[in-house]
Structure 1
Amino acid sequence: MKDKLRNIIQYKESIFWLLQISGWIAFCAIRTLNGYAHGRDPEYFYATLFGTLGGFIITLGLRYIYQKLRSVSPPPVTMLLSVTTAVVIGSLIFSTVEVWTYVQTYEPDWNPRGWEFLSNALYDVFVLLTWTGLYFIINNQIELQEQREKYLHAMAEAHQAQLKMLRYQLNPHFLFNTLNAISTLVLDKQTKEANNMLSKLSAFLRFSLVSQPMQKMTVDEELYALWLYLDIERVRFQDRLELDFEVEDEARQALLPSLLLQPLVENAIKYAIAPLENGGSIMLRAKVEDNQLVIVLSDKGPGLQEHRDDGFSSSGVGIANTRNRLEQLYPEEHEFDIGPNSPTGLKITIKIPYEVKETNEDKLSEVAE
């Protein structure tokens, strides 16, 4: 954010000097051409040039005054009076400089007084008022852009914080059950099985903590994390947990939010496997259809009435959490449907845009274009 603000400040400076220099060059050219059109000699250019330099320096002084006024943010009336006073005084100085340079460089005998000097001063008032108006309009537009950048940055930070909150919530029941199972294996002197289960738990925790909430992974990588989790649960449920996964080859390289499916599978184990004496099965299907990644997760448990969607089931990230993550990442481009499975159980269907990792060849082709 600091770099972005620094870029905005540099952008403001660049815009000011570009407009300041080009504007006064245009002013000098117009005054010179107008003088030539009225029969002035070529030396008139020097009078116009030095007068323009005077206006250039005076407007730098006005800029300094305006910056000070903007920094203290006075009431509108005070601001208006201050700006008007600065413009009037600046115009009188500008006219004096123009008259002096005109006399010194072009017409030594010219000595404007009264209305002649006043008309020249009023013209300079118009010039400086135009400069002042453009200064405030352009600066206000840049400040609006700066505020918009800050707002978008704050929204992005809030968005990422919300995703982290949704993502970094590990089920204490899962940890408790896993550690309890490891303890039981140790007490039964099944050290090999206990060590194997501990290694899988460590690999799963490492994978879940390393992956970022904004990060997307391939379906293959998601399945790897899912199998780490399910291998741990298989130690608990043995033959009571049956798995049936079918993933099309094209879908394996599709991208999806990291660890999106694990809370849903955990939810299915909690409500479709654990309560049943004979256990049950969990089915997962993934395919690409109409440029969308379609994932269907279903079980043969008691059905929808037994599942909870209160935001606290399945490690606090269950169905409600997954829905929120999808809404954050794909606001208008996803589907998340929950319904009964046939003949029994629950079926969850997820549809998100089909994306794949960008390869080096893709990046090179983009650069070439």
Structure 2
Amino acid sequence: MGLDQPFFDDKNRAFWILQTIGWSGYFFLRTISGFAGGLGWMLLVHTLLLTATGYSLTLLMASLFRRLIKVKPVWTLLLSLACVIIASGTFSIIETWSVATFLKPGFKPEGIAYLSALFVDFALLAAWTALYYGINYFLLLEEQIDQRERLEHAASSAQLAMLRYQLNPHFLFNTLNSISTLVLLKQTERANAMLARLSSFLRYTLVNEPTAKVTLAQEVETLKLYLEIEKMRFEDRLRPHFKIESETIGARLPSLLLQPLIENAIKYAVTPSEDGADIWLTAAREGQAVRIEVADNGTSEGTDIAASPSTGVGLANIRDRLSQAYGAAHRFETRQNDRGGFSVIIEIPYETGETA
């Protein structure tokens, strides 16, 4: 069978194994008890006949029960009970005849006497029936649990994909407008450079699996692609700073999780200011968690930014993605920082390629 294969993985094989083991045990116990009671060697013929009868009857019962298990429970109960009673009666008649034929030739049963073993046989077949339904209902329950887990996983993956594709398209429109302007101004080299960087960034967003996790190093490289595009628009007004601790670069997180935060910082800190703004991305290991902060020194109030409809959508998107990916095992916080700007703090479990 193989130790790595679940016993009930092949239900048909498992049934025949259990059926054979069960009735072999019945034959052994009946034979031992008969010899202990002083019965002769004809007991073997008698016990073998009873074992074959029980084996055959339960095969017929199993064939019926496979259909009954799919109907309403009340009908399953009533029809199964009727089946056990009929099978017990048949078993008792054969057992009584076998006793009279092989063990007690002088015994001449008549009429109701053929049902002398009815209660014992009923108990035996009822126990077999209970075991049959018990095992099969357990397997049905396991199948339903597995199916529900598959559906939940599919729904979660679909939700993550939807959230990943809900990226704010403003930057794409702005970038295309900038490229168009550079072309009109005949600054073809800058237009080509911006177009190449946009192509690299979009290729990453399309090729990467939307439900996959990437390392923080990969996420930072993607952010740098995005920032190179924005730097061509804002030049010295956009001043990004990265402070990534070395032990966090292999930590895994949902892809493109941080891009909306950088985009919000550009929109609400860099764009409104003539002097632009600084944006800091920091990542540090804290125990079994990774703390990531995106901060700016813009002049906007943090509460106003958080309440903005467009930013609210971005922040809600990130909250939902974190909930889908980590459940309650994460922290998401927004606040005004000591630089006078806005900060978003994320704490997620520290996962690497082996633990993710």
TM superposition score normalised by structure 1: 0.88
Q: How does 1:39-54 map to 2 (within 5 A)?
A: 39-54=38-53
Q: How does 1:308-347 map to 2 (within 5 A)?
A: 308=306, 312-313=310-311, 316=313, 318-347=314-343
State how far apart, in whole Å, the 1-side matches of 2:183 and 2:290 are: 43
Structure 2 gaps of 5+ residues are: 1-5
1:307 corresponds, among 305, 308, 313, to 305
Structure 1 gaps of 5+ residues are: 1-6, 363-369
Q: How does 1:167-316 map to 2 (within 5 A)?
A: 167-301=164-298, 302-308=300-306, 312-313=310-311, 316=313
Q: Does 1:128 align with 2:110?
A: no
Partner of 1:307, secondary structure, is helix
Provide closer, same or farther for how the CA distance between residues 86 and 330 of structure 1 changes in structure 2, counting only shifts above 3 A.
same
State how far apart, in whole Å, the 1-side matches of 2:247 and 2:202 are: 28
- What are the Cα deviations for residues 332-365 of structure 1, in whole angstroms up to 9, with x where unaligned? 321112111113011122111212223xxx9xxx
- What are the Cα deviations for residues 208-231 of structure 1, in whole angstroms up to 9, with x where unaligned? 112223311111100111011111
Q: Does 1:349 align with 2:345?
A: yes
Partner of 1:367: none
Aligned 8 A contact 1:311 1:319 in 2: no
> What is the identity, as a one-letter code, of the residue corresponding to 2:88?
S
> What is the identity, as a one-letter code, of the residue corresponding to 2:144?
Q
Greater shift after overlay, 181-190 or 328-337? 328-337
Greater shift after overlay, 181-190 or 267-276? 267-276
Partner of 1:348, secondary structure, is strand
Provide closer, same or farther for how the CA distance between residues 100 and 117 of structure 1 changes in structure 2, counting only shifts above 3 A.
closer
Residues paired across the two proteins, number: 349
Provide closer, same or farther for how the CA distance between residues 190 and 135 of structure 1 changes in structure 2, counting only shifts above 3 A.
same
Q: CA deviation at 1:40?
A: 1.2
State how far apart, in whole Å, the 2-side matches of 1:300 and 1:26 are: 80
Q: CA deviation at 1:145?
A: 1.3
Partner of 2:21: 22
Partner of 1:268, secondary structure, is helix
- What are the Cα deviations for residues 220-277 of structure 1, in whole angstroms up to 9, with x where unaligned? 1001110111111111111110111111111112212111111111111111111222
Q: CA deviation at 1:192?
A: 1.2
- What are the Cα deviations for residues 160-197 of structure 1, in whole angstroms up to 9, with x where unaligned? 11111111123221111010001011111111111111
Q: CA deviation at 1:205?
A: 0.7
Partner of 2:69, secondary structure, is helix
Aligned 8 A contact 2:331 2:348 in 1: yes
Aligned 8 A contact 2:95 2:117 in 1: no
Aligned 8 A contact 1:8 1:146 in 2: no
Q: CA deviation at 1:300?
A: 0.8
Provide closer, same or farther for how the CA distance between residues 207 and 57 of structure 1 changes in structure 2, counting only shifts above 3 A.
same
Provide closer, same or farther for how the CA distance between residues 58 and 324 of structure 1 changes in structure 2, counting only shifts above 3 A.
same
- What are the Cα deviations for residues 7-51 of structure 1, in whole angstroms up to 9, with x where unaligned? 998443343223222211121122111111211123312321221
TM superposition score normalised by structure 2: 0.91
Provide closer, same or farther for how the CA distance between residues 109 and 210 of structure 1 changes in structure 2, counting only shifts above 3 A.
farther
Q: Alignment identity in percent?
A: 42
Provide closer, same or farther for how the CA distance between residues 345 and 28 of structure 1 changes in structure 2, counting only shifts above 3 A.
same
Aligned 8 A contact 2:332 2:344 in 1: yes
Aligned 8 A contact 2:252 2:350 in 1: yes
Q: CA deviation at 1:310?
A: 6.4
Runs of 4+ in 1 over 6 A off after TM superposition: none
Provide closer, same or farther for how the CA distance between residues 224 and 309 of structure 1 changes in structure 2, counting only shifts above 3 A.
farther
